[in-house]
Amino acid sequence: MKYYLIVGEASGDLHASHLMAALREEDPQAEFRFYGGDLMEKIGGTLVKHYRELAYMGFIPVLLHLRTIFRNMRLCKADIATWNPDVVILVDYPGFNLDIAKFVHAKTQIPVFYYISPKIWAWKEYRIKNIKRDVNELFSILPFEVEFFKKHNYPIHYVGNPTVDEVVAFQATHKETVEEFANRHNLNGKPIIALLAGSRKQEIKDNLPLMLRAAAEFTSHTLVLAGAPGIDPEYYKEYIGQHQVNIVFGETYALLQQADVALVTSGTATLETALFRVPQIVCYYTGMGWFVSLLRRMVLKVKFISLVNLIAGKEIVKELVADGMKVENVRQELTRILREEDYRASMLQEYSHMADALGAPGAPTKAAREMVKILKK
């Protein structure tokens, strides 16, 4: 069968590549065509557009690139119609993908599957109407979404969380010690504070300087920054300044495996950090923080922004967001994690409960098996 996949960022490329590999196991004749990235390209098929040409974040960047965004949408729609796949599989990235789903539903007979559903439970809940109209099957990776969509009379498939698979697979094949990691990166052997400052330039610009200022006073530790894919090392230098920090690229999991504590921007990274059992602080600064905090209380339908707390249904890790993201607040929380054993142990125990809620590994395989089964019907 022919599968057309669309992702819009690095995490989508990772998850979609594993789904493609699982689809090929279920359907050895699978053909792939996609808007995606390097990892998907390694699985095989035709890369139509790289996600780097799609990933614009924030009101101003989107506004400045509207012409490019609309051109890519037109190209995608025409390409789907021409290739005429057996299914279109959308992966997260709702701003772009829901428009594609609308087109495919209205103009073709091609079924639309959504893998890693849009987070409409956080905001824009009205999009449920579009999903019910345009998406044939939705495959969720967050357990609490089942009840949310059930409330809207839209049954979905919970397949487990692919991040569990990715972390378990890494841990099974990488047995490096902290000493070996330190020697390989010329570190000084002190315990590590990991800095995961986001994958986009704006996130890095907003969060990294504050993270560094907060962590710098903990001289008992070494600061190690996880370099994001697609970000030039020179870009980081502008915000590192005189701080003593080491950068590692393409080794976020290796870093988390050795870290003593982590400062993490919101997103999948918070879940990855928890699955590696690393105590963390969620840090997400925005300009006009007081205003953003007000909007958050008025617009967001959920209490938390980190996947860890959302899955747990309560605050496991401290979220320092908008006007709460201040150097002194980060320092205070770092001090608690590093010096209060009971506090640290409680967080790690809650991580285990959260992991139980996610379920066992096997999300891509479960999703692929269900997709092929539905298509063959």
What is the per-residue pLDDT across 282-341, written as a single tens digit (0 to 9) for each?
999 876 544 444 444 544 556 788 999 999 999 999 999 888 899 999 999 999 999 999
**Residue 226 shares a structural domain with residue 146:** no
pLDDT of 248 higher than 60: yes
Classify residue 55: in a domain, yes or no. yes
**Residue 141 shares a structural domain with residue 261:** no
- Rounded CA separation 375/377 (Å): 5
Classify residue 265: in a domain, yes or no. yes
pTM for the predicted model, two decimal places = 0.85
**Residue 251: pLDDT band with limits 50, 70, 90:** very high
Give the rounded percent of residues in the chain with a pLDDT score beyond 90: 75
* pLDDT computed for residue 287 by the predictor: 62
**Residue 205 shares a structural domain with residue 333:** yes
- Rounded CA separation 353/298 (Å): 30
Q: How many CB atoms lie within 10 A of CB 10?
A: 20
**Residue 95: pLDDT band with limits 50, 70, 90:** confident
What burial class does residue 233 get, using C-beta atoms within 10 Å of its C-beta: 0-12 exposed, 13-18 middle, 19+ buried?
exposed
Contacts of 300 (CB under 8 A, 6+ apart): 122, 123
Higher pLDDT, 29 or 10: 29
**Residue 130 shares a structural domain with residue 10:** yes
Classify residue 49: in a domain, yes or no. yes
* pLDDT computed for residue 147 by the predictor: 92
Classify residue 170: in a domain, yes or no. no
Classify residue 48: in a domain, yes or no. yes
Classify residue 333: in a domain, yes or no. yes
Q: How many folded domains does the chain comprise?
A: 2
24: domain CATH number? 3.40.50.2000
**Residue 284 shares a structural domain with residue 367:** no
**Residue 123 shares a structural domain with residue 185:** no
**Residue 229 shares a structural domain with residue 347:** yes
**Residue 143 shares a structural domain with residue 268:** no
Average pLDDT over residues 90-110: 95
Q: How many CB atoms lie within 10 A of CB 48?
A: 17
Rounded to the nearest integer, the mean pLDDT of the chain is: 90
**Residue 50 shares a structural domain with residue 127:** yes
Cα angle at 227 between 222 and 231, to 5 degrees? 150
**Residue 217 shares a structural domain with residue 305:** yes
Q: Are 127 and 116 in contact (CB under 8 A)?
A: no
- Rounded CA separation 43/52 (Å): 18
**Residue 203 shares a structural domain with residue 314:** yes
**Residue 341 shares a structural domain with residue 239:** yes
* pLDDT computed for residue 289 by the predictor: 46
Classify residue 169: in a domain, yes or no. no
Average pLDDT over residues 208-230: 94
pLDDT of 193 higher than 80: yes
Cα angle at 140 between 35 and 274, to 5 degrees? 95
Classify residue 166: in a domain, yes or no. no
* Greatest Cα pair distance in the chain: 61
Q: Which residue type does 347 have?
A: M
Domain that holds residue 73: 2-160+362-376
Out of 58-72, 140-154, 162-176, least confident range: 58-72
Higher pLDDT, 39 or 64: 39
Report CA Rg, the chain.
21
